[in-house]
Amino acid sequence: MPVWLPPPAFLLQADDDPTVSPLDAVAIYSALKPAGTPAELHLFHRGGHGFGIRDAQGPIARWPALCADWLKEIGVLRRRAAAFRSTVNLTALSGRDGLWPG
């Protein structure tokens, strides 16, 4: 019988989120690590709820770059680029945002 392994997880949470407790993110992270799942957790002092879909202000606004760095670190962006290299002109994209390998 196949064993289910949780996928890699990038978790981020604002401590002042009035809807979801930051302890939930800590609990998810704490469950993933013993399973050997690649995971990264970022807790920010301010940001409220829904900062990922609106204009974030302050340090929490860096979360897309933090996530992109983590995806590169675990090889997801490189694998994706390699998978599409035959169908997409990545040379035109390469270096523009630093996400696609040259």
Element (H, E) at 10: strand 9-14
Residue 101 lies in a domain: no
**Rounded mean pLDDT of the chain?**
81
Looking at residue 10, what is its pLDDT?
97
* pLDDT 10s digits, 64-89: 999 999 999 999 887 555 554 544 44
Residue 72 lies in a domain: no
* pLDDT 10s digits, 3-17: 788 899 999 999 999
Angle between helices 63-73 and 76-84 (to 10 degrees): 70
Q: What is the pTM of this model?
A: 0.70
Residue 3 lies in a domain: yes
Domain range for 3 is: 1-49
- Mean of the pLDDT values across residues 20-26? 96
* pLDDT 10s digits, 25-53: 999 999 999 989 999 999 999 999 988 87
Residue 40: what are its φ and ψ, rounded to 5°? -135, 140
Surface-to-core class of residue 13, CB atoms within 10 Å of its CB (0-12 exposed, 13-18 middle, 19+ buried): buried
Q: What distance in Å separates the CA atoms of residue 18 and residue 22, rounded to the nearest whole number?
A: 10
Residue 40 lies in a domain: yes
Residue 45 lies in a domain: yes
Number of domains in the chain: 1
Looking at residue 56, what is its pLDDT?
85
Residue 8 lies in a domain: yes
Residue 96 lies in a domain: no
Residue 18 lies in a domain: yes
